[in-house]
């Protein structure tokens, strides 16, 4: 893959310039252990091409990323006895994206692991008919 950005930490990892603990890679994706883990087996999955967010990542790359997530999830179920998995992703500054190379956090889950990966979001009140008119995909 050649579409790399010199200032991007993930591109530098893919290029072998920056160090990383790589768990798995294939033609499309690289999976690494982040320096600070939030769960046992916490893994970050990135595409080998530089894409910033969900908005500019080609569908075939997204497909490869999700297939890789499934592969890892199944593997972690066997090798570390994970009983579940959360996939976390952010696209855009307002979604709290911090590294601007598309990435998915995979958090293996275990019985009584004490992690709350599903925050209590506020309930908002909207007119769903009006909203539907604005959101409907024709
Ligand atoms: Zn990059």
Say which residues have a Cβ less than 8 Å from residue 51's Cβ, sequence separation at least 6.
Answer: 57, 58, 61, 101, 102
> Could you say which residues of the chain have pLDDT below 70?
1-3
- Bridge-based pairing state of the strands 29-33 and 21-25: antiparallel
Percent residues over pLDDT 90 in the chain: 93
- CA 49–ligand 1 middle distance (angstroms): 7
The whole-number pLDDT of residue 5 equals 86
- CA 11–ligand 1 middle distance (angstroms): 4
- What is the helix (H) or strand (E) element at residue 77, kind and residue range? helix 59-79
Please give the positions annotated as active site: 103
Token pair recorded at residue 130: 């009006």
Give the end-to-end CA distance of the chain in Å, rounded to a whole number. Answer: 36
Asked if 46 and 1 count as a contact pair (C-beta separation under 8 A), the reply is no
- CA 115–ligand 1 middle distance (angstroms): 29
The whole-number pLDDT of residue 2 equals 47
Token pair recorded at residue 114: 């004490």
The whole-number pLDDT of residue 3 equals 67
Return mean pLDDT, the chain.
96
Calpha distance 114→119 (Å, rounded): 13
The whole-number pLDDT of residue 1 equals 41
- CA 23–ligand 1 middle distance (angstroms): 18
Rg of the chain in Å (alpha carbons): 17
The whole-number pLDDT of residue 9 equals 96
Asked if 67 and 87 count as a contact pair (C-beta separation under 8 A), the reply is no
pTM of the model: 0.93
């Amino acid at each position: 893959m050649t579409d790399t950005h010199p200032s991007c930490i993930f591109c530098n990892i893919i290029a072998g310039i920056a160090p990383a603990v790589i768990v798995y890679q294939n033609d499309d994706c690289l999976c690494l252990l982040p320096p600070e883990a939030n769960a046992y087996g916490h893994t970050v999955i990135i595409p080998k091409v530089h894409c910033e967010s969900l908005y500019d990542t080609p569908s075939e790359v997204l497909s490869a990323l999700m297939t890789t997530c499934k592969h890892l999830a199944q593997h972690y179920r066997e090798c570390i006895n994970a009983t579940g998995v959360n996939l976390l992703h952010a696209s855009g500054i307002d979604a709290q994206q911090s590294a601007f190379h598309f990435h998915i956090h995979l958090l293996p889950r275990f019985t009584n692991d004490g992690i709350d990966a599903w925050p209590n979001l506020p309930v908002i009140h909207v007119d769903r008919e009006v909203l539907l008119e604005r959101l409907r995909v024709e």
